Amino acid sequence: MKIFSEELVEEAARINHVTDLSHATIGETLLVAQYLEQKTGIPFIRMDQGSPGLPINHFGVEAEKRALDSGIGSQYPAAAGIKELKDAASEFVRAFINIDISSRACIPTVGSVAGSFGSFIACCQRDQAKDKVLFIDPGFPIQKSQLRILGIAWKEFDIYAWRGEALRRKLEDELKDGDIAAIIYSNPNNPAWISLEEEELAIIGELATKYDVIVMEDLAYFAMDNRRDLSHPYEAPYIRTVARYTDNYILMLSASKIFSYAGQRIALVCVSDKLFDRYFPALAERYHDSGVFGPTLIASILYMITSGCTATTQYAYAEMLRLSCEGKINFVEDTREYAIRAQRMKKIFCDNGFQITYPRDVNEAIGDGFFFSLSYPGMTGSELVRELIHYGVSSINLDTTGSHQQGVRACTSRMREELYPILDTRMKQFHSDHKTS
């Protein structure tokens, strides 16, 4: 028996101007869930929005307070970022990725959303023949929304059938026309939590160099692949990255998830030094500046979007990165709670007829973490996302992320201890109401 009637769900959608629940955005799904919860008092299992669900890192808070008390709030921050953050970022990349990027090429941005927005512009304007972005999907829907705003075309493919060496054939086919300016993906992946393996990253890096494509690697869920202990600075194993295999890369590192610092909107784009110093005539002609990639990205693009990042928040991020390198903050252990939640949630769903949509990487089962994907036999993703709402569970359709698989994305961040028995009861009822053969 459904918790919320068809009439009530339709009312929630109508009041919030949601025209199609089956393909609702994250924000639209959130509004419907909030409406139903507030109207009835019945708690929702919120698996829609990937907002951090852990306490904010107090070292960052204290550093930001000290910075504000020092009086720096009266001055505009430098467009390239404060020295303390740039130096800490360079050291953090060395400590946890084992890659050398100079501090000048580590640029603070107002969250990774601003970082990707500016990077898309720079990548797609550097060469008039390269005017498209290639998404290795499933991925973060907002990044395609950014391209709609910018009027930039894109190509996409679901990596589900193209793991391992098969990825080479697919990428060659997508890149052979020479019109791709950038490749973008997240690793670990939002929404499926798959992780690209070394073999795949080597393929991407090799072909990025061959076809002069810039790889935008979104590391929002930094070191959250819990299958390996990535918590020790300056010690193997290190974070997997395409940066080992090409000089054409931009790494995006956000404070939102690893330090639960989402509300302060701070991230970094770390550009390879060789790309940072590359001269592009098309950039020089457009912006009447040096035409060098890094300075153009900073002064002629990012500054026009946000006028720099809040100075006090930069000091907070710098402190958290510095203490992580010194081993005084173990952000990997702090975020392990998401993996514990994923294990418990997956068991409840799988005990009640659900399946993990993207169950494996190339050589092993996917890990547990911030996201996972769910399918139910005999149901499309559109049907499943609508049905789950009637049982008080909000999610998003995988097809909104570029996936060709039938299922939904589940986020662990808002799960609380008291909700596990509620989820279990509701999914038992769901399974009873939707018998599978």
Q: What is the pLDDT of residues 21-67, one digit of tens each?
A: 888 888 888 899 999 999 999 999 999 888 899 999 999 999 999 99
pLDDT at 20 over 90: no
Residue 107 has pLDDT above 90, yes or no: yes
R_g of the chain, CA atoms, integer Å: 22
Name the E strands within 208-329: 214-218, 249-254, 267-271
Edge to edge, the sheet with strand 355-356 lists 355-356, 371-375, 408-411, 396-397
Q: What is the rounded average pLDDT of the residues 313-331?
A: 98
Q: Phi and psi dihedrals of 301, rounded to 5? A: -120, -65
Percent of the chain with pLDDT over 70: 100
Q: How many CB atoms sit inside 10 A of residue 20's CB? A: 11
pLDDT at residue 49 in the model = 84
pLDDT above 80: residue 178: yes
Beta bridge partners of 253: 268
Separation CA 70–CA 104 (nearest Å): 25
Residue 435 reports pLDDT greater than 90: no
Smallest CA-to-CA distance from 204 within 183, 181, 190 is with 183
Q: Around 436, how many Cα atoms within 13 Å sit in the side-chain half-sphere?
A: 14
What average pLDDT does the segment 93-107 reach?
Answer: 98
Q: Report the SS3 class of residue 88.
A: helix
What's the whole-number mean pLDDT along residues 252-273?
Answer: 97
Q: What is the pLDDT of residue 186?
A: 97
CB atoms within 10 A of CB 437: 4
- Domains of the chain in sequence order: 6-54+335-433 (3.90.1150.100), 75-325 (3.40.640.10)
- Per the prediction, the chain carries an average pLDDT of 96
Number of continuous H segments (helices) and E segments (strands) in the chain:
18, 13
Q: What's residue 437's pLDDT? A: 54
- Region 102-129 average pLDDT: 98
Query: Which two three-digit tokens encode residue 14?
Result: 């109508």
